[in-house]
Chain A
Amino acid sequence: EVQLVESGGGLVQPGRSLKLSCAASGFTFSDYNMAWVRQAPTKGLEWVASISYGGSNTHYGDSVKGRFTISRDNAKSTLYLQMDSLRSEDTATYYCARGTFAYWGQGTLVTVSS
């Protein structure tokens, strides 16, 4: 059974950093591109970033480019999102998703507030 479990969310002050993790199981992690998608409270879905299966290619949404870094450790079957210079508008539930978004994690809430 495919499982994606996010962790690392929480309350953080503006300007600070946070690193999210997504632990994958039930499939060969290194075979799939991965992505992060976020959803601000009561708002729609927003694609944040994607990474190729080997980790060599990354893409970012305009709202996070230069502040967020997506990475992966295929040996640990884990996806990461390093979030720096956080802003109040980054407050959202962050989901990791596999490949063509067939599978999603349960999400982890990030709240940016002083």
Chain B
Amino acid sequence: DIQMTQSPSSMSASLGDRVTITCRASQDIGNYLSWFQQKPGKSPRRMIYGATNLAAGVPSRFSGSRSGSDYSLTISSLESEDMAIYYCLQSIQYPFTFGSGTKLEIK
């Protein structure tokens, strides 16, 4: 099975900060990597698909990138509404696997 190692598990940042969350894949997953945002009591929301593609309706301050087996979600300028838990997902091979999540808090 492909393991997705997500870091950090939690972080605190100030409004306006640039924030980066990373997932490392244990095997080649190409660009079959998505990022999801989940707020308390809500369903997950897809933010990025295909490693770098912004999902419909997602603010442009969110972006995705890839460097080898490392995949990153970046928020260019943190806003209060971005407080949430973020998960990555690989979907190249079954079983699909999620990262363990990053809880993002606002300082």
Contacts and interface: CB of A to CB of B under 8 A. Distances in A.
A11 interface: no
A50 B96 contact: yes
Interface size class of A (residues with CB under 8 A): 10 to 19
Nearest to B93: A59
Nearest to B96: A47
B89 A101 contact: yes
Given A100-B34, A100-B49, A47 B95 contact: yes
A37 B96 CA distance: 10
Contacts of B85: 44
Interface residues of B, number: 23
Contacts of B12: none
B97 A47 contact: yes
A101 B34 CA distance: 9
Interface string B77-107: 0000000010101010011111111000000
Given A44-B87, A95-B44, A101 B36 contact: yes
A106 B38 CA distance: 12
B66 to A, nearest CB: 17
A35 to B, nearest CB: 8
B55 interface: yes
Given A59-B94, A62-B95, A101 B100 contact: no
Contacts of B49: 100, 102
Contacts of B100: 44
Interface in B27-61: 34, 36, 38, 43-46, 49, 55-56
B43 A45 contact: no
Interface string A22-38: 00000000000001010
Interface of A: 35, 37, 44-47, 50, 59-62, 95, 100-102, 104-107
Interface of B: 1, 34, 36, 38, 43-46, 49, 55-56, 85, 87, 89, 91, 94-101
The 10 closest A-B pairs by CB, nearest first: A47-B96, A59-B94, A104-B43, A45-B98, A44-B101, A61-B95, A102-B46, A45-B87, A44-B100, A101-B46
